């Protein structure tokens, strides 16, 4: 009775991505009334949902969330805020999923029960909310006697919680395995990826061991498998391989080869390095096509100025700066980076020290 | 669902694949390379190569904006090196030697003959390959590896493009310039030009 109402509330809230965690416990009473006055045809009543098959129940849960949200949302939001205030302060302003995760964590008392799992698929919100609602039941002040089907799980009754568990378990069994698994991983990943919370809510699949250890292990394994799948897509040639060990081998090989490539390229860059000049700025702006153009003038200019001596330990780039400022018309050939070079030239003087040269070049780069 | 983690991973991958990111990285790398060129001793090729590698990794870690653990580990390593130069330089040379030999065999033989299952062994190896992820649990490690691989691929692409550009420039310069000025320039260089 209550969890369904709670679920519905949560689903509506999350569907609107409204997660405000505040302490408004005292508004609950009024909102309970309003909830109870909610239209039964939308499937708000727990008993109504119970009689339906699980899928239809899920749909009912979510369609009211989509349809009736504008009117009932403000109410529900208050409920949720009051619910969450008891437990999840640090999670305000989080998007829907992390808030779900927070609530999930809050509901760890009723471990093994992510009632969301019972409602599968898009019901991720609702299960977590209901589970959190269960937790809230214990924590928050009892607002209702808990008799009304639509009352939120504020009424702290462990017995009711257990009843909810049974209901959700029953619904769980009625559903297919796929949705359960989805919900479980959703719950897990919400709790893990969203907030890195210590608790993982796992749902026992049909026909599997319900030992808490194996549940946790299964959750962990599924997380690992999900990430391995991502990696398999990333590493070429891994999708055909089956078996974690071989895939890991491939990944190791790939990372190792990439690191070797970086090492090799860095050696090459170190060897080529002396040739780096300020043309690189223009290269990056104008693209590769202008490489030859831009380098021609830089190399031609030294030819034209054979008697310019290198000053102190200046580098050749500075010499080209000097030359460039004189041979401005040479640069106008390159329309692509004309602005860049002319501005660079304007910044320089003949006596500019190496520092200012690098400074200007870095400024240019930053403008890029 | 896993949508959250998958979306994050996909976003990361998209980030590392974008041309804008590569461009940013390349320009930062060029700036870093200038520093290397100025600061490092000109006669030692290997040390300069290593310095380049370190700079490249550092710039890559900066590009990662510290979101991932490996990037923070790289930056921490650099910081430690700066703080205590002498000691760390000695240690690093030792480690580098050891690391090079370690890199050759991917299957690490643990001297204590621990009963590591092959899977666990590979996990350890992978943890050692990615900086800062030695003692990480498998799911987190896999996440780090995913991002690290994407970042490495971008690094390789950027550096390959860079070297191509530079060697192309060198080729042009080699063809054009046979002047005394060029000899003067080459005097400043650590290596004679390729022509």
Annotate A171-192 with three-state secondary structure: HHHHCCHHHHHHHHHHHHHHHH
CA A66 to CA A68: how far, in whole Å? 6
Percent of chain B with pLDDT over 70: 62
For residues A115-124, give the mean pLDDT: 40
Residue B180: closest C-alpha in chain A? A306
> Which residues, including other chains, have CB under 8 Å from residue B6's CB and lie 6 or more apart?
A226, A230
List the domain boundaries for chain A.
2-203, 244-367
Name the closest residue on chain B to residue A313, using Cα atoms. Answer: B188
- Name the 3-class secondary structure at A152: coil
Hunting for tokens 């239209």 — which residue is that? Answer: A39
Q: Mind telling me how many Å the CA of A193 is from chain B's nearest CA? A: 6
Q: What's the pLDDT score for residue A257? A: 92
**φ, ψ (nearest 5 deg) of residue A327:** -90, 50
Which pLDDT band, with edges at 50, 70 and 90, does B133 fall under? Answer: confident
Q: Say if residue A191's pLDDT is above 50.
A: no
Tens of pLDDT along A253-278? 999 999 998 888 888 877 776 655 54
Which of A166, A260, A184, A177 is closest to A226 using CA atoms? A184
CB A349: neighbour CB atoms within 10 A?
Answer: 12
Mean pLDDT over A160-185 rounds to 46
pLDDT reading at A47 higher than 70? no
* Mean pLDDT confidence for A202-225: 82
pLDDT higher than 80, residue A75? no
Q: Read off the pTM.
A: 0.46
- Mean pLDDT, residues A59-65: 51
Of B17 and A126, the one with more pLDDT: B17
Answer whether A234 sits within 8 Å of B150, measured CB to CB. yes
pLDDT for B109 equals 57
| Mean pLDDT calculated for residue range A53-82 | 47
Do residues A15 and A125 touch, judged by C-beta distance below 8 A?
A: yes
So what's the pLDDT on residue B87? Answer: 66
User: Is any Cβ of chain B less than 8 angstroms from the Cβ of A355?
Assistant: no
Whether residue A293 has pLDDT greater than 50: no
The answer to whether residues A287 and A340 touch, using CB atoms and an 8 Å cutoff, is: no
The two tokens of residue A214 are 């194996």
Distance CA B61, CA B55 (A): 10
* Calpha distance A226→A245 (Å, rounded): 15
Q: Which of B1, B126, B130 sits opposite A182 (nearest CB)?
A: B1
Rounded average pLDDT over B166-192? 60
Structure confidence at residue B145 (pLDDT): 87
Cβ A273–B1 below 8 Å, yes or no? no
Q: Say which DSSP state A205 is in.
A: P
Q: Which of B23, B143, B190 sits opposite A284 (nearest CB)?
A: B23
- Residue A239, helix vs strand vs coil: coil
Q: What is the pLDDT of residue B70?
A: 78
Q: Average pLDDT, stretch A94-102? A: 43
pLDDT given for residue B2 in this prediction: 52
A320 has pLDDT over 50:
no
Q: How long a stretch of residues is chain A? A: 368
CA torsion, points A326, A331, A333, A338, in degrees to nearest 10? Answer: -130
C-alpha neighbours within 13 Å on the C-beta side of residue A254: 22
Taking residues A44-58, what's their average pLDDT? 49
Question: Quick one: CA torsion of B153, B155, B161, B166, rounded to 10 degrees?
Answer: -150
A255 and B145 Cβ atoms separated by less than 8 Å: yes
Res A205 pLDDT > 60: yes
Please give the pLDDT value at position A233.
86
Check whether B62 has a pLDDT greater than 60.
Answer: yes
3-state secondary structure of B95: helix
A25 neighbors A84 (Cβ within 8 angstroms)? no
∠ CA B53-B101-B82, nearest 5°, is 40
What's the CA gap between A35 and A152, in Å, rounded?
Answer: 9
A275 and B CB contact within 8 Å: yes
What token pair was written down for A149?
Answer: 């089907």
User: Looking at residue A127, what is its pLDDT?
Assistant: 42
Cα distance between residue A368 and residue B22, in whole Å? 13
B122 and A249 within 8 Å at the Cβ level: the answer is yes
pLDDT value at residue A330: 42
Question: Residue B8: is its pLDDT beyond 60?
Answer: yes
Residue B120 scores a pLDDT above 80: yes
- pLDDT for B76: 78
Kindly identify which residue of chain A lies nearest to residue B123, measuring between CA atoms. A248
What percent of chain A is modeled with pLDDT above 70?
18
DSSP string, A38-61: S-GGGT-SHHHHHHS-HHHHHHHH
């Amino acid at each position: 009775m209550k969890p369904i109402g709670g679920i519905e509330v949560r689903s509506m809230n999350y569907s609107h991505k409204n997660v405000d965690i505040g302490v408004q416990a005292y508004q609950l009473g009024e909102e309970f009334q309003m909830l109870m006055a909610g239209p039964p045809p939308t499937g708000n009543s727990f008993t109504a949902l119970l009689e339906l098959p699980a899928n239809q129940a899920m749909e009912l849960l979510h369609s009211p969330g989509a349809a009736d949200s504008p009117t009932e949302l403000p109410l529900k939001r208050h409920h949720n805020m009051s619910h969450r205030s008891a437990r999840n302060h640090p999670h305000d302003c989080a998007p829907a999923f992390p808030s779900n995760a927070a609530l999930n964590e809050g509901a760890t008392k009723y471990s093994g029960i992510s009632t969301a799992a019972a409602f599968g698929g898009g019901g991720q919100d609702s299960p977590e909310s209901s589970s959190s609602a269960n937790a809230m039941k214990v924590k928050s002040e009892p607002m209702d006697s808990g008799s009304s089907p639509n009352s939120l799980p504020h009424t702290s009754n462990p017995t009711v919680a257990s009843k909810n568990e049974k209901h959700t378990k029953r619904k769980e069994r009625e559903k297919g395995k796929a949705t359960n698994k989805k919900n479980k991983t959703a719950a897990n990943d919400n709790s893990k990826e969203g907030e890195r919370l210590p608790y993982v809510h796992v749902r026992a699949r049909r026909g599997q061991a319900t030992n808490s250890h194996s549940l946790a292990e299964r959750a962990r394994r599924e997380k690992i498998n999900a990430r391995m799948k991502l990696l398999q897509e990333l590493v070429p040639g891994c999708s055909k391989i089956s078996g974690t060990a071989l895939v890991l081998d491939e990944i190791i090989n790939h990372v190792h080869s990439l690191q070797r490539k970086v090492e090799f390229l860095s050696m090459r860059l170190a060897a080529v390095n002396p040739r780096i000049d300020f043309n690189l700025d223009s290269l990056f702006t104008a693209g590769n096509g202008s490489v030859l153009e831009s380098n021609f003038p830089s190399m031609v200019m030294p030819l034209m100025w054979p008697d310019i001596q290198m000053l102190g330990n200046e580098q050749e780039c500075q010499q080209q700066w000097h030359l460039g400022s004189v041979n401005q018309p040479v640069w106008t050939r390159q329309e692509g980076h004309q602005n860049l070079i002319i501005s660079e030239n304007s910044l320089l003087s003949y006596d500019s020290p190496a520092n200012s040269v690098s400074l200007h070049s870095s400024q240019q780069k930053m403008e890029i | 669902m896993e949508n959250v983690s998958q979306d994050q991973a996909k976003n990361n991958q998209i980030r590392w694949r974008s041309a804008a990111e590569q461009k940013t990285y390349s320009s930062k790398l060029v700036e870093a390379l200038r520093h290397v060129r100025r600061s490092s001793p000109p006669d030692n090729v290997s040390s300069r190569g290593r310095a380049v590698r370190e700079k490249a990794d550092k710039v890559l870690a900066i590009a990662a904006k510290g979101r991932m653990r490996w990037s923070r580990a790289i930056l921490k390593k650099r910081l430690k090196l700066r703080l205590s130069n002498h000691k760390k330089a000695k240690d690093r040379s030792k480690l580098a030697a050891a690391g090079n030999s370690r890199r050759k065999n991917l299957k690490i033989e643990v001297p204590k003959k621990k009963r590591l299952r092959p899977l666990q062994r590979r996990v350890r190896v992978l943890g050692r390959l990615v900086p800062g992820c030695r003692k990480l649990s498998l799911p987190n490690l896999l996440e780090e590896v995913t991002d690290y691989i994407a970042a490495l691929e971008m690094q390789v692409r950027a550096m390959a493009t860079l070297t191509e550009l530079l060697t192309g420039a060198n080729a042009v310069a080699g063809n054009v310039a046979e002047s005394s000025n060029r000899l003067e320039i080459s005097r400043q260089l650590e290596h004679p030009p390729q022509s």
